[in-house]
Amino acid sequence: MEERKKVIAEAEAELDQILQHTSDLSEADLALACAPLLAAHRQYVLRRAVLLLVAVAVATLIATNSATAKLHLHAVARVALVKLLPWWDWRPLHRQRCLLPNPHFSPPPASSKDECLSCEAIDRVDRVADTSYQQLLDRFLQRDAPVIVTDAMDSWPAMRSDKLWFDNFTQVYTEEKKLKGKKPRPCALSSNIRADSTILLKRLNNPRLDHWFAHWLNCDASAMKAMRQFYQRPYFLASSVAPAHFNWIVLSSNYWAKSYKKLRLEAGLIMVHQLRGSTHFRLVPVPLCEEMCTEITETVREGEILVFLSFLWDLHYSSGRGAENMAIITETIWDTFTVY
């Protein structure tokens, strides 16, 4: 360090002497005279950049192994993003699945109004039982028609248990023994109870709490896996269909409202598994198809599964009037080129 400072000081002194006679020097002479100073400056910048990269790498390593450090790192990142807003509005990117355009990506079916022809004659939801994957494809999914399967949950342990209650869904976020050192948080949480997500989920375990609804997306991998104990792969799905990649929890207790809540689902195969009570729903055509297709209103009852593709439909729901309503909604990637 001392040697570098000495070199810089000598270069500055030499440059100061030369600049006193700049009128007699060419550009080549000036470049030659400034070369030692520029070289020292480049070394300084390179050294600072390397130290910064090492610091970032160490901070990232610590954050991935420490919940407290991860929390602070996330807080700093959020503050930095807020400070960045005056120069760059990153908010439209928040819900995008890909930050960079993918030339191999095919747009979903509702890319033109011609695709809306699939739903223009659909005005109801049929109920079927003892069906098969091929029957569902031929009669419903290939023409974007929703269907309710009435017997797909009969053998599930959750349907036969008398101990299934709200705490079964919230404990993965509230009980330490379930967390296993992690602190997952639900995503897209919505409720008529105003509270922090952790406090809200604990309050839902209180049997005296009444007149409420809550729904959320299990975006944490451990939470998603924990919820799979309450549902199984329906018998009517072929093995070529991928497992669900996201699941939602929809709960309510003695709650009814005129308004329907919209769930922002990814494009793909959607299944609403009604574990307890009932759920009133509306399938609303996507904006591209709203002039051609009709909104459908129906109810999925306990033990039934609503099945539809969300390319042409948005799901809005309202809780049933019963004391306890519980449903799990799964989202599955649907590739029209491989599942047919």
* Strand partners for 286: none
Do 209 and 253 meet the contact criterion of CB atoms below 8 Å apart? Answer: yes
Half-sphere exposure of 14 (CA within 13 A, CB side): 15
**Nearest residue to 310 via CA among 290, 284, 291:** 284
Query: What pLDDT is stored for residue 179 in this prediction?
Result: 53
Angle at 100 between CA 96 and CA 105, to 5 degrees: 80
What is the 8-class DSSP label of residue 122? -
CA pair distance 150, 159, nearest whole angstrom: 13
Angle at 35 between CA 30 and CA 41, to 5 degrees: 125
CA pair distance 318, 46, nearest whole angstrom: 60
Query: What pLDDT is stored for residue 215 in this prediction?
Result: 93
Query: What pLDDT is stored for residue 248 in this prediction?
Result: 94
Instruction: Determine the longest span between alpha carbons in the chain, in angstroms.
Output: 98
Strand 278-285's sheet: what is its strand order? Answer: 261-263, 313-319, 278-285, 296-301
CA pair distance 222, 169, nearest whole angstrom: 13
Which two structure tokens, joined as six digits, stand for 151? Answer: 């017997």
- Arch. (CATH architecture) of 113-332: Sandwich (2.60)
Could you identify the residue written with the tokens 């509230």?
174
Residue boundaries of the structural domains of the chain: 2-84, 113-332
Q: List the alpha helices (DSSP H) in 154-228.
A: 157-160, 167-174, 176-179, 197-203, 221-227
**Mean pLDDT in consecutive groups of 10 residues from the start of the chain, 340 residues:** 66 64 62 70 80 78 66 75 75 64 52 83 94 94 94 90 80 63 78 84 82 89 82 90 88 88 90 93 93 94 95 91 85 66
Query: What pLDDT is stored for residue 246 in this prediction?
Result: 87
Beta pairing, strands 126-128 & 147-149: parallel
